Structure formats: structure tokens, C-alpha cells
A and B are shown apart, each in its own frame.
Chain A
Amino acid sequence: MKIVTCIKQVPDTEAEIKWDIPKGTLKRDGMDPIINPFDEFALEEALLTRENYDGDIIAISMGPEKASDVLRNALALTVNEVHRLTDEAFAGSDTYATACVLASAIKKIGDVDVVFCGKQSTDGNTGVVGAELAAILGYSQLTYVSKVRQIDAANKKIVIERAIEGGIEVIEAKLPAVVSVIKGINEPRLPNLMGIRKAAKIEIPAWNADDLGIDKAKVGYEGASTKVVEIAVPPPRGAGEILKGELEDIANIVTDKLIDLKVIK
């Protein structure tokens, strides 16, 4: 089986964010990077799939030089192959352009059975690249996946559970499929020392727009259809009132205030 996992490097939420104004994109260089939390689950699911059904894992990430770190971490966790997708022309891509670049890489890899993505990235926060990828590639679109029940590569079938509003939906789908996973699907493992040492020495290969056969006008800042025109810090909520006094009085005040909102039935 051929398994691809898409992992993204994101800035640590606590880190100071640097915006590229006027482009309205994040300056990713020089920020404290971590692997997108949801992609740890995607990577772990790829490892579990290989353990259960055999096969090769190829991890891909679109991003600058620094994004090599998340791929090196994937290598330390013993994925078989990694590719960093990088080109000046990719900078400033929106979700669709990102999905196009990832799709081109998946086509280049070829004969892929299943692609694991995270539910969403914590910087872009869009949560749509997985679905877009499936639509572009014509693969089965399986989102919010909380469990992979079974994969039958010979008969090109997969059965999964999706955690959606109101319950769990069980779906049988044809392979190839894009599976985007939520937290809780597994417990991501940590690399061991030997893995880390081995991975440290490996050169992370890169694919650029030409390698991927991508029309540069269609991706990156130029190609993006959605553009950021304004960045603002939301007004602080204005710290409200700290209720002081005897508990009896505080409880009276707060319950009155909440009842006055006329929301409680």
C-alpha cells in the first residue's frame, strides 16, 4: 500500500507573529515552528496503517527551508520517504493553491491508496485543504475521521467513522481516499533517539514548481483568489466586572444578570 501524509509546519501559538504587510501573509521564517497539532494524528495514523497493512509512507510538506524540521521528525518516526514542496512561486498561496501543489506532488508520487491529512491547521485554521485535495484528485473525500475501521487495498475499499454533529457516521468508500483526521483518533508516538540520529543526517529532498509541473501563475500570491486586505487586533473584550462581596450576594447578582439576558428558558 502507498500511504501519503500531508504535514504542515505552523508557528507556535504563543510565538510572536510577524505579518508581511501589505501581502497579508505570515512571515514564516524566523518564527518558532511546531508540527501542526492535527498533523501529528495524521502521521501516527499513517504509521499505524503501515503496521497493520504493510506499505510505504511518503510524508510531504509545502513550506520554506524551515519546514524541513517537520519532515525530519517524520523520518525519525521511520516514514519511508519525504518531500518538501517549495518554490518562490508558492509563497502566499491560499487554500486552493496549496491543495493544487499538494495534489501535484501526490500525482507525481503516483499509485497512492490513501492520503492522511489533519482536520485543520492551527495557523490558517481553514480546515478545507483535505476536502479540496480530494475534489482536485477525484479521490474519496473522508473528513472529520475519528476511526479507520478497515482498509482493503486489494479490493480498493476503506471503512471509516466520522465524528460529526449529533453522532458518528460510518462510511465505506473506494480507494484512493483523502482521510482527514481529528484529535483522539490515536495517541501520537515520539521518535526514539536512534531515529532522531539517523534522520539528522538525511538531506531533505525538495520539489519545485517545475518538478511538479505547476503553472506558476496559478499558485502563490499571484494566483490566490482570496486576498487579505486588512489585519486587525480584535478589540479587547474589556475586562468586565469582578463581583466582590459575600458569596450569597455574588450568586444573587450573577444569576440576576444572566436571567436578565433572557436566554435562559
Chain B
Amino acid sequence: MANDVWVYIEHKDGNASPMSFELLGIGKELADNLGSSVCAFVVGENVENIAKEAFSYGASKVYAVEDGVFKGFRAEAYAKAASFLLDKYKPEITLFRATSQGTDVSAASAASLGFGLCTDSIGIKVDGGQIKLTRAAFGGNYTVTVVNEKAKPQITTVRPKAFSMPEKDASKQGEIIKESFSIAESDLNTKVLEFIKSEVALNLVEADIIVSGGRGVGGDDGFKMMKELADVLGAAVGASRAAVDSGWISYEHQVGQTGKTVKPKIYIACGISGAIQHLAGMRTSDCIVAINKDPDAPIFKNASYGIVGDYKQVVPKIIEKFKTKLNK
């Protein structure tokens, strides 16, 4: 249907990425307001299982392009298939998660269809029949609300965790619409040679809890302590740029304007002053705890709970309490 809401489903090695169905929740809400349905779409080699799972998270239909050439993600191949589908069905709006894959496919699809897109939306609503997208601009100091007047379909990427995961109901079913579309291997520009798995177990962007260290944790030993707290909580470890630039932890952990944008349920900032560029990456977290020895540190203005003190005393005490209370 012409004013349906579409959600792009990511997958890897034959399985949907766990958070991939997140946008079906907000998608359903939008579709209800538009009087249309929320549909998923997926490009891959074998999509049957992924489609079934999408139904259980609320997709009423799944549009799929299936072919051997789509085994394993490649931006250009997936974007060509995606733009084929979007051009053919012209849904009202298409939602992608703002992951590397979602960004690559959405940007290339929009460009080949000949229009712009809104990236990293944190608010989406229907207002007088028009879809309004809100995103953070300029280091999170502003939010801007964008409408897309010309593009059909509209395309946006959505900040991971900006909307809650819909309930799963395995009894739900729907219709799979398969489109035959393929590309000759020789027409593709890229070949994946290998994938080297990271030693860092938890993905910062998907983590519900992040324990982050800054210049104030002073070095490797400080980060060992961050890791210890993170392990007790099942959290990922983040860092400020100052900590990354000091070589205490790798760049993939950096949170902020030139690092990752995160929105965990709990963000614990230790020895981080709260510079505007750091806040840009984490200020939309649900609950922020700041531990800093300087009572005037700007981070306290953004923290749900502030503890003024030396992290070397505070953090071990907190670890001890959590261990007792959580029976760990």
C-alpha cells in the first residue's frame, strides 16, 4: 500500500540481528496514525526465518529480495535491491537503524532514487498527515525537526534505542512477498575477504548499561576498575576522548561527537568532566550517574545522580555493594 511504513531488517550469517526488529514498534504506531500497515523488508540469500520472526514482532507483510548474490552484506548490492523495492512499492516512509549497515544502505538507496534523507532520528510523529522527524543537531545542543516534502518514500535512519522494542508474539503471521531481483557478480564492485571478530564482547551502541571512564581515571589501572564494575553489571565500557587519546583504551570505545552516540538505560561516567562534545554522545541516556571529584564539573548538570568524590574510593565501594545485593 502506498502509505505503508517499512522497516529494514538487518541480519548476519542467516540470523536477524537481535535489535533489528526494534523499529517495528514505532513503525506500527506511525502506521496506525497514517491508517496503513507496518511492513518489514529484507534482502538476503535465504530470508524465510527472518521474515517469520518479523511477523512475531508485528510486521503485517514482509517484502523480500532473495538471491545467492546477496549472501553476506555488501552495501552496494543491498542498496540496489533496497532501492528496487522502494521504487516499486513507494511506501510512505522507510525506517533503518542508524547502524553502519543501516546508514550505508539508506544513504545509497536515497541517493540512487535521487533525494535526501534524515539521519539518526530520535523522534518521529505524524502531525496533520505529515511525518515529522526530530534529530539532534550540532552536538546535541539543538534539536531540529525535519519534513521531507519531495521524497517518496521518505527515508530515515533512527538512533538505536530511541524507541522501545515491541513485544514478541510468536503466534502472529503474515504474508511474504518475494520479488525476483538480482545483480551479476561481475557488476559488483566489492568482495568481502574476511571478518575479524573484535575481542570486545559488547557492542557499545546496543548496550543497556555503559560504564565510562575519562581522563580522571588516570590510566590502565583505572580502566581495569571500570571493567570490573562493567562486568558486575553486564555493561559495556565507554570512554571520553581524553582517555582514548591517552592510549588507555581503543577508539571503538569513544563516546561523543567524534565517537559513538549511545543511549543506554544507565550511563555511569567516572572522571569525565562533561565537555559538550562528550555530552553530545550520551546526553539522551535514560539515567546518568556521574562520579567526579570536582563538585563544579559540568557533568553534574546532566546527571540523574551525582557523587562528588574520588573514583578510587567510590567505585570499589559501589562494586562491593552491587556484588552483595546482586549475589555475585
Instruction: Give chain A's interface residues, CB within 8 Å of chain B.
Output: 11, 13-14, 17, 19, 24, 26, 37-38, 94-97, 99, 122-123, 125-128, 131-136, 139-144, 159, 162-174, 177, 182-184, 224-234, 236-237, 239-243, 247-248, 250-252, 254-259, 261, 263-265
Q: At the interface with chain A, which of B43-51, B55-63, B318-326?
A: B318-326
Contact between A258 and B266 (Cβ–Cβ < 8 Å)?
Answer: yes
> Which residue in B112, B136, B302, B325 is a CB contact (below 8 Å) of A125?
B136
Once the chains are docked, how many angstroms separate the CA of A18 from the CA of B111?
29
Which 9 A-B pairs rank lowest in CB-CB distance, beginning with the nearest?
A131-B107, A128-B107, A96-B116, A135-B111, A132-B111, A225-B150, A94-B116, A230-B145, A240-B304
Instruction: List the A side residues contacting B205 at CB < 8 Å.
Output: 165
Contact between A167 and B195 (Cβ–Cβ < 8 Å)?
Answer: yes
Contact between A166 and B118 (Cβ–Cβ < 8 Å)?
Answer: no
Instruction: Give chain B's interface residues, CB within 8 Å of chain A.
Output: 75-76, 79, 99-101, 103-104, 106-112, 114-120, 132, 136-151, 189-198, 203, 205-206, 208-209, 233-234, 250-252, 254, 257-259, 265-266, 276-277, 280, 283, 286-289, 295, 300-309, 313-314, 317-318, 320-322, 325-326
Once the chains are docked, how many angstroms separate the CA of A114 from the CA of B139?
30
> Which residue in B143, B190, B277 is a CB contact (below 8 Å) of A13?
B277
Once the chains are docked, how many angstroms separate the CA of A26 from the CA of B112?
27
**Chain B contact surface mostly:** mixed
Once the chains are docked, how many angstroms separate the CA of A229 from the CA of B258?
27
Excluding A135-B111, A139-B189, A251-B317, 12 further A-B contacts by CB distance (< 8 Å) are A11-B138, A24-B144, A37-B258, A122-B139, A141-B76, A171-B190, A171-B191, A233-B142, A234-B142, A237-B288, A254-B289, A257-B305
- Count, A-B residue pairs, CB within 8 A: 259
Q: A13-B257, A243-B307 are in contact. Are A169 and B195 (CB under 8 A)?
A: yes
Once the chains are docked, how many angstroms separate the CA of A256 from the CA of B309?
19
Instruction: List the A side residues contacting B132 at CB < 8 Å.
Output: 229-230
Instruction: List the A side residues contacting B193 at CB < 8 Å.
Output: 159, 170-172
Once the chains are docked, how many angstroms separate the CA of A166 from the CA of B10?
14
Instruction: List the A side residues contacting B118 at CB < 8 Å.
Output: 226
Q: A96-B110, A184-B251, A254-B318 are in contact. Are A141 and B305 (CB under 8 A)?
A: no
Instruction: List the B side residues contacting A94 at CB < 8 Å.
Output: 116
Once the chains are docked, how many angstroms separate the CA of A252 from the CA of B145?
41
Contact between A237 and B283 (Cβ–Cβ < 8 Å)?
Answer: yes
> Which residue in A14, A123, A142, A167 is a CB contact (below 8 Å) of B196?
A167
Instruction: List the A side residues contacting B106 at CB < 8 Å.
Output: 128
Instruction: List the B side residues contacting A11 at CB < 8 Å.
Output: 138
> Which residue in A14, A127, A252 is a CB contact (below 8 Å) of B119?
A127
Contact between A143 and B146 (Cβ–Cβ < 8 Å)?
Answer: no
Contact between A140 and B283 (Cβ–Cβ < 8 Å)?
Answer: no
Q: A125-B138, A173-B189 are in contact. Are A134 and B108 (CB under 8 A)?
A: yes
A-B contact pairs, 5 of them (CB 8 A): A128-B117, A132-B108, A230-B144, A259-B322, A264-B209
Chain A residue, CB-CB nearest to B324: A255
Instruction: List the B side residues contacting A99 at CB < 8 Å.
Output: 111
Instruction: List the B side residues contacting A257 at CB < 8 Å.
Output: 305
> Which residue in A133, A171, A234, A241 is a CB contact (below 8 Å) of B306?
A241
Contact between A144 and B100 (Cβ–Cβ < 8 Å)?
Answer: yes
Smallest CB separation, A198 vs chain B (Å) = 30
Q: A183-B258, A228-B144 are in contact. Are A128 and B149 (CB under 8 A)?
A: no
Smallest CB separation, A196 vs chain B (Å) = 25
Contact between B147 and A229 (Cβ–Cβ < 8 Å)?
Answer: yes
Smallest CB separation, B162 vs chain A (Å) = 13
Contact between A140 and B190 (Cβ–Cβ < 8 Å)?
Answer: yes
Q: A128-B119, A173-B190, A226-B148 are in contact. Are A255 and B258 (CB under 8 A)?
A: no
Once the chains are docked, how many angstroms separate the CA of A259 from the CA of B327?
12
Instruction: List the B side residues contacting A224 at CB < 8 Å.
Output: 116
Instruction: List the A side residues contacting B195 at CB < 8 Å.
Output: 167-170
Contact between B138 and A243 (Cβ–Cβ < 8 Å)?
Answer: no
Contact between B117 and A183 (Cβ–Cβ < 8 Å)?
Answer: no
Contact between B307 and A226 (Cβ–Cβ < 8 Å)?
Answer: no
Instruction: List the B side residues contacting A141 at CB < 8 Å.
Output: 75-76, 79, 104, 108, 189-190
